[in-house]
Amino acid sequence: MFSYRHAFHAGNHADVLKHTVLIAALQHLTEKDAALTVLDTHAGAGLYRLDGDYASTSGEAADGIVRLFAPTAPTLTPALQAYVDMVRAFNQGNTLRVYPGSPFITQRLLRDHDKLKLFELHPTDLRALAGNVAQLEAGRQVAVLHEDGFEGIKKFLPPPARRALVLCDPSYEIKSDYAKVLDVAADSLKRFATGTYAFWYPIIPRPEAHDLPRRLKTLATKAGKSWLHATLTVKNSKLTENAAGDVKRPGLPASGMFLINPPFTLKAALKTALPQMVELLAQDKHATHTLESGG
């Protein structure tokens, strides 16, 4: 079973991709005066200590955000620089102890009249999320909901101002999550055809993981909607065996972001950012990226 709980993977290469895309999308969507509603289906705890028990257990941030913070890092592309600046805003100086999850990145970019709905079912993460959000003193702008985000978002679509971004990034610990993502995409487009929908997924040796972007593409195309698909691979996905014959799992080798109705500015931003992600985050010679769009 593939296990992906936010706290164990905070700041890894998948977060670099997901949050670079999220920031670039929100920067564009908040240029219009009309209110924006953001729905985060699997919010997690919101904030993570990179020196805490969870993140330090895996140490994945060392091959993710930490590399972008390094004094030796080159001049970053605008999209990656915006991402690094965002993470830096939650830390002091060049120290990197706190990693903001999607809820806190989003809230930082929203205006007073925008709304953020955060869904979380995991009891530990829910308590942490509620406590972290309370410190924002954001009032009614941010709502924390102890609900299944797959179902919970339905009552908020369409939003009052007819502008919405849905971020859907489940753990995929349960195989049925892949089918639920497709159901959410289809249902959401029926409820609110002009919303922007962003789906993160792991690229792992499992048929469902490879079918998901293809089926999302078919769904968007049939609905007559534009789409964008970006992937980042940092290493080989094959199992390796050491001299003692022990099989070693490689960890997450790659991930993707699939957007329906993406901001028109996003592809150009990622065209320069993705090659730099490969350059800075590569863990072996298999590192690569893809970027495609349609509609």
Helices (H) and strands (E) in the chain, counts: 11, 12
Answer yes or no: are the C-beta atoms of 127 and 39 closer than 8 Å: no
The DSSP-derived string for 181-216 is HHHHHHHHHHH-TT-EEEEEEEE-SSHHHHHHHHHH
Active site residue 148: no
Q: Give kind and range of the element (H or E) at residue 56.
A: helix 53-58
Residue 256, beta-bridge partner list = 201, 231
Please count the CA atoms within 13 angstroms of the CA of 71 that sit on its side-chain side. 3
In 3-97, beta strands by DSSP E? 37-40, 47-49
Contact 70, 61 (CB under 8 A): no
Strand 164-168 to strand 247-248: parallel, antiparallel, or no bridges (unpaired)?
Answer: unpaired
* Catalytic residue selected from 114, 125, 169, 177: 169
Looking at the annotation, which residues are catalytic? 169
